Amino acid sequence: MTADVAVLGAGMHPWGKWGRSFVEYGTAAAREALADAGVDWCDIGSIVGADTVRGGYPGYVAGATFAKALGWQGARVASVYAACASGAQAISTARAQILSGLADVVLVVGADAAPKGFFRPAGGDRPDDPDWLRFRVLGATNPAYFGLYARRRMAVHGDTLEDFAQVKVKNAAAGALNPLARYRKRVTAEEVAASAVVADPLRLLDICATSDGGAALVLSSVDFARRHGAPDPVRIRAVSTVTPRFPNTVLDLPDIATDSAASVAPPAEPFRASIARAAYEEAGIGPEDLSLAEVYDLSTALELQWYEDLGLCGEGEAAKLLGEGATAPGGRIPVNPSGGLASFGEAVPAQAIAQVCEVTWQLRGVAGERQVAGARVGMTANQGLFGHGSSVIAVR
């Protein structure tokens, strides 16, 4: 039996600030994915929901919440919470069900109605929770970490504010071509530099917003897809959900300290690089095989870090790769042709699913003005709080 699963359908609710329930966004995305797949809701054998924990009690049971909204029909249900990696964990759960024979067709759906401004922890005292502690002890919002990442790259690799700005310029140009993006306006490097400082050295336009949005996929066995009239579907070949290795000597959100390497040597690769390596090994490919990548650009500096972690270039060479135009549309390896989080913002449980939606459309050749010519292999990458890896490789 092949380890691939087919992507029969993909659907998204546009990102923005709509002021409605996350259930509405996820249900709309699910219906689009079902229509794209050409399957009826009653044909779905399982539904896996990527959870949001800010939307009240229904957010903790997102799988059943979406099943109810679509109409109870007896399908299996599962719910997954892994912060920003929730969507990839949901895809991994769905794939396991398909490959084990528990279901032929699975709906994966995630959606969020994010608060305006910085994310903050849920209420209550939790002194053993690093996410709670970083707010209570340091008052460190997410942009504080993004600024630390940027400062590290400037100190270690010589990256500049101009390098960071060019990431935003690239992604904004791609987002301007994406009807699902929240921000569809090109920007200049001068506009990035003139925007307000949020967490030095990062400006407002260096950092992604929080957004509402939803995304969904219909996954199936390859045999089902072929019987269903899809002889050559986009196929998911790898899903990496690895955790860090001890000692973790590079600061990772939300932890506010690294492990000591005084007695144990640090691992050969940092956490994010290990996420990519596991995906490559499972898929049996390398970075040289990629046609495009969708990465987690919480900040412009973090996108540059992903270039190196995905092996698109050597350590310290990300700004050079960007400057050569290799990651731009028409370049050797376009990164974030969707426009990335720079153009969408964070809708946490949906975004890893949305990345796979974009890769699916690119591999099908239906991405319109933002189409990557001849796309055959696409990769997604992000990470969730507390060491949740997240990477998906899809092929055509």
Q: What is the DSSP string of 210-267?
A: B-EEEEEEEEEEHHHHHHTT-SS-EEEEEEE-----SS--S--TT-SSPPP-SSSPPP
394: nearest Cα among 222, 214, 148, 269: 222
Q: Is 311 contained in some domain? A: yes
| pLDDT of 256 | 82
Whether 124 maps to a domain, the answer reads: no
Q: Please check whether residues 84 and 147 belong to one and the same domain.
A: no
SS3 362: helix
| Coarse DSSP helix, strand, coil percentages of the chain, rounded to the nearest 5 percent | 40, 20, 40
Q: How far apart are CA 322 and CA 162, in angstroms?
A: 11
Give the mean pLDDT of 29-49: 98
Q: Is 108 helix (H, G, I), strand (E, B) or coil?
A: strand
User: In this model, does residue 55 exceed pLDDT 60?
Assistant: no
Residue 366 pLDDT grade (very low, low, confident, very high; cuts 50, 70, 90)? very high
* The predicted structure's pLDDT at residue 59: 61
Rounded to an integer, what distance in angstroms lies between the CA atom of residue 384 and that of residue 356? 16
pLDDT of residue 56 exceeding 80, the answer is: no
Residue 62, pLDDT > 50, answer: yes
> What distance in Å separates the CA atoms of residue 111 and residue 353, rounded to the nearest whole number?
10
Shared domain check, 170 and 28:
no
Q: 23 and 158: one domain? A: no
Pair 102, 186 in one domain: no
User: Would residue 361 count as lying in a domain?
Assistant: yes
Confidence (pLDDT) at 108? 98
On whether both 11 and 77 belong to a single domain, the answer is yes
* Cα angle 175-179-183, degrees, rounded to a multiple of 5: 45
Tell me which residue has tokens 């970490």. Answer: 145
How many residues make up the chain in this entry? Answer: 396
Query: 218 and 262 in one domain?
Result: no
**What is the mean predicted confidence (pLDDT) over 150-172?**
97
In a domain, 123, yes or no: no
Q: What span, in angstroms and rounded, lies between the C-alpha atoms of 376 and 374?
A: 6
Q: What percent of the chain has pLDDT over 70?
A: 98
The confidence score (pLDDT) of residue 2 equals: 56
- Give the rounded percent of residues in the chain with a pLDDT score beyond 90: 85
pLDDT of 121 higher than 80:
no
Q: Which residue(s) pair with 377 in the sheet? A: 395
**Residues 80 and 52 placed together within one structural domain of the fold:** yes
Using 50, 70 and 90 to split pLDDT, how confident is the model at 1?
Answer: very low
Query: pLDDT by residue (tens digit) across 236-271?
Result: 999 999 999 999 998 888 888 889 999 999 999 999
The domain of 274 spans 130-205+237-395
Q: Is 24 exposed, middle or buried, given 0-12, 13-18 or 19+ CB atoms closer than 10 A?
A: middle
**Could you report the per-residue pLDDT of 312-341, keeping only the tens digit for each?**
999 999 999 999 999 999 999 999 999 999
Q: For residue 227, is it within any domain?
A: yes
187 & 52 share domain: no
Regarding beta strands 105-113 and 212-221, do their DSSP bridges make them parallel or antiparallel, or are they unpaired? Answer: antiparallel
Centroid of chain to Cα 344: 11
Same domain, 293 and 384: yes
* Structure-model confidence comparison of residues 386 and 121, the more confident one: 386
Distance CA 82, CA 95 (A): 17
* CA 172 – CA 169 distance, rounded (Å): 5
Same domain flag for 172 and 277: yes
Q: CA 239, CA 207: separation in Å to the nearest integer?
A: 27
In this predicted structure, what is the pLDDT of residue 125? 86
| Region 85-110 average pLDDT | 97
pLDDT, tens only, 135-155: 888 888 999 999 999 999 999
Query: Do 349 and 227 lie in a common domain?
Result: no
**Position 299 in a domain:** yes
Asked if pLDDT for residue 70 goes beyond 70, the answer is: yes
Q: Tokens representing 324?
A: 């050569």
**Residue at 364 is within a domain:** yes
Where does the pLDDT of residue 210 fall: very low under 50, low under 70, confident under 90, or very high at 90 and above? very high
Indicate the pLDDT class of residue 163, thresholds 50, 70 and 90: very high
Q: How confident is the model at residue 357 (pLDDT cuts 50, 70, 90)?
A: very high
Check residue 298 and give its pLDDT.
95
CA neighbours closer than 13 Å in the CB half-sphere of residue 354: 36
Per the domain annotation, does 355 fall within a domain?
yes
How many domains does the structure of the chain reveal? 2
Instruction: Say whether both 110 and 243 belong to one domain.
Output: no
- In angstroms, the CA 155 to CA 235 distance is 41
pLDDT at position 252 is 83
- CATH number of the structural domain spanning residue 64: 3.40.47.10
Q: Which is more confidently placed, 258 or 380? A: 380
The answer for residues whose C-beta is within 8 angstroms of residue 322's C-beta and 6 or more apart is: 163, 166, 167, 170, 304, 307
What is the pLDDT, as a whole number, of residue 60?
A: 65
